[in-house]
Structure 1
Amino acid sequence: MIATFDVHFVTYNEHFVTQHDLLRELAIRESNSKGIEHRKRVILEINENKIHEWLTEENELSIRAKLLSISTDETFSSSWPSMQAPEVEVLLLNFQTGKYSLPEFIEGMNKLKVLVLYNYGFVPAEVSNFPLLGSLSNLKRIRLEKVSIPSLFLTSMKWRKLEKMSLVMCNIGQAFNKSTNKISDAFPKLVDLTIDYCNDLEELPTGFCDLVLLRKLSITNCHKLLALPEEMGNLLDLEVLRLNSCIELTVLPGSIGGLHKLQILDLSDCFGVKELPEQIGQLHNLRKLYMIECSGCELPSSVMNLFNLKEVIGDEETAESWRHFKPCLPSLTIRVHKEINLNWLR
């Protein structure tokens, strides 16, 4: 059984799905069926600063778990018990406070590959002890949710093996816009970047375009994003570009035509984009294009050169615009997106 770590929500086509409490309780019960020293998954809940007895019985607890999940409430004082967890590969820290201090024992997690910080409070939290993460030499994936990312996110750490980074509902301007360090130096191995609901992102920093190994870039629901840098064409390995629901974005840079490996492009709900650049026709490997709610976007004649385009998904008006080019693109399927009716859930 896969242990879940908190009641949480995920998005799919802008609809929210909530995990049932019963699944969570079942996972916790399964995890706690063995002695703490023998568990492969350890799931802790600390409420009102009430530390588990077995955490205070020993001067320094050592656990062998591969997955460690710690949830704390808004009253937690950040007074962490002494602990050693050298075998942990996945660490999930769920908290609800405006200020949160990372536990010191993270520094000894030499095998850690996945780190998730999930703040289930209402506003992004200030996280201290961030430099501790600099010791995680094997970290490959990180997900930060509702966190104010400090400037030292770039200046004091090198994420040498990090491959995937997800920033959700975070304040990221201080970390990327004000730093003088190169983003490519901090993330030399990054291949997958997700930025979702980050409301202080007004312009994508040019430094992101130096992440030459990047294959997937998803910037979604960033409602204040106004522009993308012309240097976007430097991302020569990019295969997936999602710009869903960036409602203030008005233009795509012409350099997008240089993304010759791009296979999936999602422009859905980008209401401000009134036309595609002429260079869009240079995307000869483009397979799938999402243009839902893009009825006001004009198509250049160069789209006739998208010979490998297999599917366009859009609203009725967008689909009609594409039908004019169907004789030149015999392999193209034009699909009209229909909203999913969730009234039955009420």
Structure 2
Amino acid sequence: MHDLVHDLALDVSQKECKTVNSETETVDENIRHLLLCDEKLVEVPRVLEEMKNVQTLIVQDGSMRSKIVDKSLINLCFSNFKYLRALKLRKSPLTALPKSIGTLKHLRDLDLGRCKDISELPKSFYKLRSLQWLDLGVSSLKQLPDSVQRLIELRHLVITIEAKHLKEIPAGCWTYLQYLELRTCMELECLPEGMQYLKSLRTLVLSNCYKLVSLPRSLKFLTKLEHLQIVSCLEMNLKMEPQEEEDKDLQLSLKTLSLVNLPALTDLPRLLLQGSSSTLQQLQIKFCQHLSVLPAWLLNVTSLHKLEIENCSNLSALPEGIDRLTNQRELRIHQCRKLSKRYRENGG
């Protein structure tokens, strides 16, 4: 931003925002948003004990701090900051959250990403009725807790579990959820039953789910899904053919599909792509060594703007007539040896 706008933003924010460390002695009572920035904190700054109206607390990378300090800090939050709306504890050494977390009635944003020692959530967790944004990625949760399923206002959820199967998603659960990411669920073999109930879902990300084999056909009911990203799911194959009469007239909304490091991939998900033939704009395929051809039906995806193919060493052909994709603005092919051999300058 322009220097003048930047200075104005700083001037305005200083009335409500403050960076605190172990040497901070005073904090204005009007401060609402705090950044605790001190990796080797040995005790909770005393100035925090005098504050009551904090709405945002961001605790920067806590991997260097002791569990005792973080536990004291969290207890202080729950006892003093009754109006807390956002709490970010990324990489905290905490092993558990206190039961009193349920008292934070106004909490909307909770970031527990990379809190690797948290293996369960307190029973009072379901009382966070206002929670809309929850990151439990790279934690040690054994299974998706019932208390998380009962958070009906959730819009954004990132989660890691150690189980082979996720609990079924019941009807009426997460009806407002727009973003779902399953990250580093290394034992997960399939997505949960009930995916069709996530009617508001716009983005689905599956990353480092090494044993995940396929996508459920129930995804065809997610008519608002716009972005699908699948990364480093080593057993994943996406063969999804239309099977029923209704599959031929699917009206889906996918805009971007990204497939990265899927060594078992031999087919693209025809059901989803043809259902999105008038909406899909970007298709990215990278490090899919067993994909040998792009299917002819891909030419039906007439809305495609960008096709990116990288490090697909066995891909030997593009569909005949690919020039019929008249909306395409960018075609990028990189490190595809067999395709490179067929390339002829000025000849195609």
User: 1:316 Cα shift?
Assistant: 6.6
Of the structure 1 ranges 88-97 and 258-267, higher mean CA displacement relative to structure 2 is found in 88-97
Asked if the contact 1:46–1:52 (Cα under 8 Å) also holds between the matched residues in 2, the reply is: no
Partner-residue secondary structure (3-state), 2:209: coil
Specify which of 320, 323, 330 is matched with residue 327 of structure 1.
323
Matching of residue 149 in structure 1 with residue 155 in structure 2:
no
Specify which of 239, 264, 270 is matched with residue 272 of structure 1.
264
Q: Which amino acid aligns with 1:287?
A: Q
Q: What pairs with 1:73-112 in structure 2 (closer than 5 Å)? A: 73-76=65-68, 78=71, 81-82=75-76, 83-94=79-90, 96-97=92-93, 100-112=95-107
1:270-302 CA deviation, whole Å, 9 max, x = no partner?
A: 121112255443421211100122353232221
User: 1:74 Cα shift?
Assistant: 4.4
Of the structure 1 ranges 293-302 and 41-50, higher mean CA displacement relative to structure 2 is found in 41-50
Number of the residue aligned with 2:14: none
Tell me, in whole angstroms, the C-alpha distance in 2 between the residues paired with 1:48 and 1:309: 52
Distance 1:157 1:192, change over 3 A: closer
Number of the residue aligned with 1:4: none
Paired residues in the alignment total 301
Q: What pairs with 1:1-346 in structure 2 (closer than 5 Å)? A: 27-28=19-20, 32=24, 34-35=26-27, 37-44=29-36, 50-54=43-47, 62-70=51-59, 71=62, 73-76=65-68, 78=71, 81-82=75-76, 83-94=79-90, 96-97=92-93, 100-119=95-114, 121=116, 124-129=117-122, 131-149=123-141, 151=143, 153-154=145-146, 158-167=150-159, 170-173=160-163, 177=166, 179=167, 182-254=169-241, 258=250, 260-279=252-271, 280-284=273-277, 285-294=279-288, 296-297=290-291, 298-315=293-310, 321-322=317-318, 324-332=320-328, 333-337=330-334
1:145-204 CA deviation, whole Å, 9 max, x = no partner?
A: 32233557225752121111112xx22527x63x4x634433121011112222122211
Q: TM (normalized to structure 2)?
A: 0.73
Partner-residue secondary structure (3-state), 2:280: coil
Q: Which amino acid aligns with 2:297?
A: S
Asked if the contact 1:230–1:254 (Cα under 8 Å) also holds between the matched residues in 2, the reply is: no
Asked if the contact 1:92–1:117 (Cα under 8 Å) also holds between the matched residues in 2, the reply is: yes
Tell me, in whole angstroms, the C-alpha distance in 2 between the residues paired with 1:165 and 1:287: 25
The structure with the greater share of residues assigned to strand is 1
Of the structure 1 ranges 317-326 and 229-238, higher mean CA displacement relative to structure 2 is found in 317-326
Q: Which amino acid aligns with 2:215?
A: L
Asked which structure has the greater CA Rg, the reply is 2
Q: TM (normalized to structure 1)?
A: 0.73
Tell me, in whole angstroms, the C-alpha distance in 2 between the residues paired with 1:104 and 1:155: 13
Distance 1:119 1:283, change over 3 A: closer
User: 1:319 Cα shift?
Assistant: 8.0
1:280-336 CA deviation, whole Å, 9 max, x = no partner?
A: 434212111001223532322211211111110012768873363322212223112
Tell me, in whole angstroms, the C-alpha distance in 2 between the residues paired with 1:241 and 1:156: 23
Partner-residue secondary structure (3-state), 2:186: coil
Tell me, in whole angstroms, the C-alpha distance in 2 between the residues paired with 1:232 and 1:314: 25
Tell me, in whole angstroms, the C-alpha distance in 2 between the residues paired with 1:311 and 1:119: 34
Distance 1:312 1:213, change over 3 A: same
Q: Which amino acid aligns with 1:64?
A: N
